[in-house]
Amino acid sequence: MYFFLSNLSFVDNSFMSNTVPKMLVNIQTQSKVITYESCITQVYFFVQLIMLDNFLFSVMSYDCYVAICHPLHYTAIMNPQLCVLLVLACWILSVLNAMLHSLMVLRLFCSDLEIPHFFCELNQIVHHACSDPLPNDVVTYVAAVLLAVGPLAGILYSYFKMISSIRAISSAQGKYKAFSTCASHLSVVSLFYSTSLGVYFSSAVT
C-alpha cells in the first residue's frame, strides 16, 4: 500500500508543478500568455499525470480488494515483483497516451500561436486550432472511454466485492478493521472522480 501511495504522492506533486510555476510567473510579470512550446509541454505532462493518477487508483483498489477478500493470500498475490510490474504498466500506458495526445495537438496549431492563459487543457486549446479538430475529438473520446472508464469500472467492481465481503464478516470489530483498510482510498477516489466529472460536465454545459 505504501509503495503505491509513494508513487501517487510523487505524481500529485508533479501534477501541481506542471501548472503552478507558470501561474506564479504570470502573476509576477502581469502577463496572461503561454507560448506554443510551453503549451505542448503542459499538455503532455497534464495528460500523462492525470491518467497515471487514474491508473494508480485502479491498482490501489485491486490492492485493497486482495487485502479484504483474500487476506490469507495477500502476501503471495501482492508480491513486490507484481507491485513493480503494475506501477510500471501504469507509467508506460500513461506515457504512450500522453504522447498520442501531444502529437495530435501538434497538428492543430500555427507555430506562432500565443494562448491567453497560464494553463493548457485539451478541451480549451482546441478552440484556438488552425486546422480541423475532429480527429482530436475522436481520439480524446476513444481514449477517455478505454483508459478512464475501464479503470473506473475496475474500481467500482473491486469496491462492490469488498463491500460484499465486509457485510459477510460477523463481528463489528472485524467490519470496522476491514472498512478502515479501504476508507481513505475510497474517499480520495471519490474526491478525484467527483471533482473531475463536475469540472468537465459543467464546462460542457456552459
What is the enclosing helix (H) or strand (E) of 150?
A: helix 150-168
Share of the chain above pLDDT 90, in %: 19
Q: What's the CATH fold of domain 2-205? A: Rhopdopsin 7-helix transmembrane proteins (1.20.1070)
Q: Where are the domains of the chain?
A: 2-205
Query: If pLDDT is split at 50, 70 and 90, which confidence band does 117 have?
Result: low
Segment 73-103, tens digit of pLDDT = 989 999 999 999 999 999 999 999 999 888 8
Residue 174 CA to residue 167 CA, distance in Å, equals: 10
The average confidence (pLDDT) of the chain is 82
Q: Is 109 helix (H, G, I), strand (E, B) or coil?
A: coil
pLDDT at 179: 78
Segment 17-40, tens digit of pLDDT = 888 888 888 888 887 777 777 778
**Is residue 42 within 8 Å of 22, Cβ to Cβ?**
yes
